[in-house]
Amino acid sequence: MKPSKFCRIILSVLLILVLTATSHSAMLKSPRESREENSRRKSYTPSLPREGTVAVLADSNDPQHAAIAETMIIEELVSNGYRVVDDATLGKIHRAAERTQAFNHAFGGSVTGISNIGRSYKTAYTILARVKAGRPERNEAGLYTGTASVTMMAVSSKGTKLGGKVSNGKAVGYTMDEAREKALTSALQSGLAQLF
């Protein structure tokens, strides 16, 4: 037998073994594992309406955390094919938020307040995220453990609540800031997976 033919036979046998092992491992999954896998796939299926534009607002005691939340939500929307208000309009919304009583109601979680933003800026709906990140604590390993929570609500400009989610995140980091931002990112990812 020629060495090249022998190598081809060995490679063919290895390929068959790999393919067979993969299909057997898929068949060996319990019904619960299969349901959980399907649930994870479904959780990333966008359920918010695609018509019109979306405004995204985030509120936090720390402006940097609000900016992180807005950026992550906008990136998720754009990657799922949604149209988000342009930067100029978002800037107008932010400036108005600093001086308008309606925005205080919106940031307080008022559906009417949030829908008023949509009507004022001609968006189909608004997603409001309220972000809280706790003070990270030093753990026994000398690292920091951070926690964060994010409350997200989507409200149409007609005043209909389209969805909402409260999610929590916990993460470890070498510094307090790293632990806090990782926890915030974890909470946002969890909330986005279920809101969309």
Kindly report the average pLDDT of the chain as a whole number: 75
Whole-angstrom CA distances from 84 to 43, 109, 110 are 21, 21, 22
Residues 9-26, mean pLDDT to the nearest whole number: 50
Tell whether the model's pLDDT for residue 87 goes beyond 50: yes
Contact call for residues 57 and 120 (beta carbons, < 8 A): no
- Evaluate whether 76 touches 188 at the Cβ level (below 8 Å): no
Residue 122 has pLDDT above 80, yes or no: yes
137 pLDDT above the threshold of 70 = yes
pLDDT at 32 over 60: no
Between these two residues, 182 and 92, which has the higher pLDDT value? 182
Average pLDDT in the 172-178 region?
Answer: 90
Question: What is the pLDDT averaged over residues 76-85?
Answer: 87
Top pLDDT among 74 and 3 is at: 74
User: What's the confidence (pLDDT) of residue 45?
Assistant: 39
Summarised one tens digit per residue, pLDDT across range 90-108 is 888 777 766 565 555 556 6
Torsion angle of the four alpha carbons 62, 63, 67, 68, in this order, in degrees rounded to the nearest 10: -20
Do the strands 125-133 and 137-138 form a parallel or antiparallel pair, or are they unpaired?
unpaired
Taking CA atoms, 124 is separated from 7, 42, 48, 79, 117, in Å, by 62, 24, 11, 18, 10
Domain ranges of the chain: 3-43, 53-195
Question: How many C-beta atoms lie closer than 10 Å to residue 98's C-beta?
Answer: 7
Q: pTM of the entire structure?
A: 0.67
Burial degree of 102 (CB within 10 A; 0-12, 13-18, 19+): middle
**So what's the pLDDT on residue 26?**
44
**Cross-strand bridge partners of residue 88:** none
Please list the helix, strand and coil fractions of the chain in percent, rounded to the nearest 5, in that order: 55, 25, 20
Name which CATH class applies to 53-195: alpha beta
Share of the chain above pLDDT 70, in %: 68
